[in-house]
Amino acid sequence: MAAGLSDVGFNLNLAPVVDVNVNPANPIIGKLGRSFSADPQTVEAYAKVFVEAHRAKGVLTALKHFPGHGSSTKDSHKGMADVSKTWSDKELLPYKNLIASGDVDMVMSAHVINDKLSFSTEIPSSLSRATLTGLLRDNMPFKGVVISDDMQMQAITDNISFEDSVLRAVRAGNDILIFANDKHPDPLVPEKVAACPKKRARTRKCSSGYSLPVVSDGEGRTTIWAFAGGAATASIAAGLAEQGLSSSASTISRFPFGLATWNRLRKHSEKLSGVS
């Protein structure tokens, strides 16, 4: 797999799935055979080999779906999945151990409700600052890039407005937001995303000192949006595009965001280009 991706020019694989197979009847994980095992240590071992094989071919990876989708009884593509009563700490073990061993490039956040971690019965993990910043970044601690699952999955679109989902995702700690834009392609998605922080800034009468580069393929088939801050915004947008995460950089607008995200994306871009 890694060799095949590298041969055709890919440098990022949004895998492996490190969800523990808690519920074999899980419609989106267990039933589809996406989990390595019901044993966290086995999941960790397979994921480590997966990551190392990809790195050997110059391809980065993203562990998913944090903090765990393996115990769910519903598919978050089709609606909100609540794992609050089925999730357990063992589902964090692959993340903790792989982070400690330096085998994590990126982590993908899950659109699942887990009130044990988010302290909310309404906010999914992907939009929870307690989960992504408090647990993943500060406690575990993960210093790499956090990427959301597709922001157009029904777990999000059926329950949260477009503007709120974008703003909550960034504030929660996601560095990159994915918009597959596949079911109902909308060429204006880049503009709509860029308008979210502008609209909120006007509403709250606050000014922003940072920038939001929106990275797309330029034809409406947008897959990755990269958020960065400071004067380096244009360069990171161009850098991500040059590294193959997108074919072109689109809209750049003002956004109230700090330099921590910029630094993570810069390091990520350097990994892709082989700069240490």
Token pair recorded at residue 2: 């890694």
Beginning with the edge strand found earlier in the chain, give each strand of the sheet holding 176-178 in spatial order: 12-13, 60-66, 106-109, 145-150, 176-178, 224-226
Mean pLDDT calculated for residue range 239-266: 43
Residue among 149, 150, 175, 268 flagged as catalytic: 149
Q: Is the pLDDT of residue 218 over 80?
A: no
Integer Cα distance of 248 and 241 in angstroms = 6
Mean pLDDT calculated for residue range 153-179: 92
Integer Cα distance of 28 and 143 in angstroms = 28
Q: Is the pLDDT of residue 201 over 90?
A: no
Residue among 77, 115, 186, 217 flagged as catalytic: 77
Q: Is the pLDDT of residue 160 over 90?
A: yes
149 in active site: yes
Instruction: Report pLDDT for 25.
Output: 96
pTM score: 0.77
> Residue 47 class from Cβ within 10 Å (0-12 exposed, 13-18 middle, 19+ buried)?
buried
Instruction: Report pLDDT for 35.
Output: 97
Q: Cα 95 to the chain's mean position, in Å?
A: 14
CATH of domain 1-178: 3.20.20.300
Tell which phi-psi region holds residue 164, choosing left (phi > 0), alpha (psi between -120 and 50) or beta.
alpha
Tell which phi-psi region holds residue 84, choosing left (phi > 0), alpha (psi between -120 and 50) or beta.
alpha
Residue spans of the domains in the chain: they are 1-178, 179-276
Q: Is the pLDDT of residue 226 over 60?
A: no
The answer to whether residues 64 and 107 touch, using CB atoms and an 8 Å cutoff, is: yes
Instruction: Report pLDDT for 183.
Output: 83
Mean pLDDT calculated for residue range 253-262: 43
Residue 43 half-sphere exposure toward CB, CA atoms < 13 A: 29
What digits encode the pLDDT tens for the residues 33-54?
A: 999 999 999 999 999 999 999 9
46-50, 92-96, 126-130, 177-181: least confidently modelled range: 177-181
Q: Residues for the chain: how many in total?
A: 276
What digits encode the pLDDT tens for the residues 74-121?
A: 999 999 999 999 999 999 999 999 999 999 999 999 999 999 999 989
